[in-house]
Amino acid sequence: MGNHMLRQRFVLDTTALTDMQMRDSLEAESICDGMKGLLELVASVRLQLGISCYVPFPSVYDELHEFANNNKCDSEVVAKIDTWLVKKAPDRYDVQIPSKVFHEYVSHMRERINKGMVIAEDTIWNASTECLLTTTKAEQKKDIDADIERRVIGGHIGKFRNKYRAALRYGILDSAPDIDVLILAKELDAAVVAGDFGIQKWAEELGVRFVPASTFPMMLQEYLEHSSRANMVSESDNDS
């Protein structure tokens, strides 16, 4: 057990430190207190058990700093981020990711983009027909001249589609920090800690262990309790 513990590594996503449930489990009042509480646990396991928590640098590291500043956390929180989290740039060139995973990711994103497009189209359509209802003498939506509807609104929707696709189809990969977290975890053979279950799906695909942010503090507390208990046992063995 001891040996395995020393090799234990975690890669933290921004949500590992900002998750609401994580804060509740530490009984922290504010976001800043929650971050401070978790970072103190991270410090304890690093000093006592040699367990390291990494953050991808600069992506997640910058996000954490930004988050601390936006929430007006004191300099102590920032100091703890800098002291206890190991910053590491993920090796984006040498970490191998199965092409099947990448393939699925791309089709998943495509599906999500299309869903967004349909919602927007419906909204344009509804807004336009509502306006026509108000300005024309039509009693009901079905009385509005179908030709106007098709020609005018349809034309605009066609243009919207092209622009929407052009804006979203190129160079999209949801969020760079998310991908960095996965790559770094794969590289270090570490577990991913996140409050974002989108990451969980891809962690599973990559064969990376996933720890929900909400249970992470309890897990670290458990490690600490067990190690102090083990130390007490070994001390009493030495005494006898």
Q: What is the pLDDT of residues 172-224, one digit of tens each?
A: 445 678 889 999 999 999 999 998 777 888 898 889 999 999 999 999 999 99
Please, what sign has the CA dihedral across residues 16, 204, 115, 99?
Answer: positive
Residue 143 has a pLDDT of: 66
Percentage with pLDDT > 90 across the chain: 48
Under the banding of pLDDT at 50, 70 and 90, the label for residue 153 is confident
Q: What is the mean pLDDT of the chain?
A: 85
Q: Give residue 160's Cα distance to chain centre.
A: 30
Residues of the chain within CATH 3.40.50.1010 domain(s) are 2-95+178-239
Q: What is the mean pLDDT of residues 22-34?
A: 95
Does the pLDDT of residue 145 top 80, yes or no? no
Q: What is the dihedral of CA 199, 205, 209, 211, to 10 degrees?
A: 30
Indicate the class that CATH gives domain 2-95+178-239: alpha beta
The per-residue b/e assignment along 2-39, b for 16 or more CB within 10 angstroms, e otherwise, is: eeeeeeebbbbbbbbbbbeebbebbebeebbebbbbbb
Q: What is the mean pLDDT of residues 52-76?
A: 95
Q: Count CB neighbours of 163 within 10 A.
A: 10
Comparing 15-29, 40-54, 144-158, which segment has the lowest mean pLDDT? 144-158
Q: Which two tokens stand for residue 45?
A: 């396991």
More confident call, 106 vs 224: 224
Tell which residue, 37, 128, 141, 135, has the closest CA to residue 80. 37
